[in-house]
Structure formats: structure tokens, C-alpha cells
Amino acid sequence: MPLYQAVVLAIVQGITEFLPISSTAHLALVPWLMGWRDPGLTFDVALHLGTLAAVLVYFARTWIHLLSQAFVRRGREKENLCANPRLLWFLVVATIPGGLAGLALERYAESSLRSPYVIAATMIGVGIVLWWSEVKGSFQKDLDAVSLADAAAIGAAQAFAVVPGVSRSGITIAAGLFRNLERAAAAQFSFLLATPIIGGAALKAAWNIHRGGGLTPGMRAPFALGVLVSAVTGYAAIAFFLRYLQVKTLKFFVWYRIICGIMILALALFFRDSVMLP
């Protein structure tokens, strides 16, 4: 795998994993549009390890506080993200639906659902869901006010992210807005919730690679570069998006998804014989 392709795909992964625009859709489309070969499972592991590192580093202090509050009794801390002593357990509950959906539908999602028509439909459909969540949300809750019902609803929404084009961050942020979370709080909960899912997927895929004999010599440099670039890009994407949501709505991402979905549909219709997503 050429190193420049590794860099491009790692940048795409780092940005699209955390913005509500679907990393799966973009990582399927970019190689096809550029005429590149499918990078395969090995490089997919590198990209997920990179974005896992990004979210772990960005929220490191938050995870330390959540773990200490869950297992050590102490007074309520006033720092943001740390005043809800049950938040860790709510994240555990919210992780269950997505984990079960991933285990049950992984092969199906990577084969018959990996169609340009499915991706186009989900890009447009979730764009409309994001728009509707902006209309209906009251933006009253921060993470301190997240309840078990909120976590269960967001976790149930995450189960749909197994379908290519849905976007884990997009569907969970929309669910958070429907539960009246503030935009930034919905994104923060989404990113915290992504950590065990990304980690589980990366570890499962890494185990499969290990059973198959490990990394080939030609993939070692692209693998390392993929981890590094996706980690740096992912960290920057998280920081940018959380600042963005402090002052702006999701309208740009709504239009991006709809326009992108229409373009994918047009490509699939006009180049029907050549649109073969990896």
C-alpha cells in the first residue's frame, strides 16, 4: 500500500469518525473515486486504533474522573463532565445495543448493506433526522443531567450505526438532541460512548489479523502511519467540533449529508457498472 494513500485515508478516517458524516461511507467512496485498491482489514485496524487513541487522549481526564466516581465514594465535583456520579454506568448501558448489533450484523453490514444505494439513502435519511432533532430539541441538559432513559435512547440509536452511511456520531448526537441535551453535551456523550465500541471493533479485528499470521512486511509502515495520522487528525476533529457546537448548529452537516447522498446516488445511477464499493 503506497504511503500517500495511507495518509489520505487516515486523514479521512480521523475527520469523519467524529463529525456526523459517516466514516464508513467516506472510506468506501474515496478509494473508488481515486481508483485505489481496497486497503483491507489490516489498514482498517490501524485507522480504528488511531481514532481510539484520539478519543482516549482527548477525554483522558474525564475517564479518570468517571472511573473514580464510579468506584470511589466522594463529594460531588463541580468540574464539567464530572458531576454525574452515575455517568459511567449510563455509558455501559448505552454501549450494549451497539455492541449486540455489531456482533449480530457485522457480516451483513460489510456485504449486502455496503451498497451505494444504501449509503446514499442513509446519508440523506440521517441528514433529515439531524435536521428534525435540531427542530425538536430544547438544548436544556448538560452531561450532569443525563439520565438512564437518555443513555438508553442514545444507546439504542447507536445500534443503527452498523448500517453503512448512518454515522455513529450523527445518529447518537441526533438522539441526544431529541432527549433535549445541549449540542456540545450530546457530542461529548457520543464521543465517550464511541470509545468502547471503537476499541472493541479494533481489538476483534486485530485478533483476526494475529490469527492470520500478523502484519506482512509491506504493511508495517502504512499501518504505523495510519495509526499516527488518524490519531492526530481525530484529536483535532474532536477539538474543532466541540468548539464549533458551542456557537453553531448542525445545519452545515445536514446539508453536507443530503448533498453527498444525492451525489452518491447520481454516481450509482450513471456509473452503475463501475460503482463497486469495497
Instruction: Give per-residue pLDDT as tens, 109-131.
Output: 665 667 888 899 999 999 999 99
Question: Residue 146: what pLDDT?
Answer: 92
Cα distances from 188 to residues 5, 35, 111, in angstroms, run: 30, 36, 31
Question: Residue 113: what pLDDT?
Answer: 67
* 3-state SS assignment for residue 97: helix
Which of 50-54, 65-69, 192-196 is predicted with the least confidence, judged by mean pLDDT?
Answer: 65-69
CB 253 within 8 A of CB 21: yes
Instruction: Give 38-63 pLDDT, tens digit per residue.
Output: 777 678 888 989 999 999 999 999 98
Output the nine-digit C-alpha cell for 113.
Answer: 448493506
Q: Taking 80 as the threshold, does the pLDDT of residue 228 lie above it? A: yes
Amino acid at 165: G
**Higher model confidence: residue 69 or residue 13?**
13
Q: Is the pTM of this model over 0.95?
A: no
Instruction: Give 140-184 pLDDT, tens digit per residue.
Output: 998 889 999 999 999 999 999 888 899 999 999 999 999 999 999
Band of residue 273 on the pLDDT scale cut at 50, 70, 90: low
Give the separation between CA 188 and CA 182, rounded to whole angstroms: 10
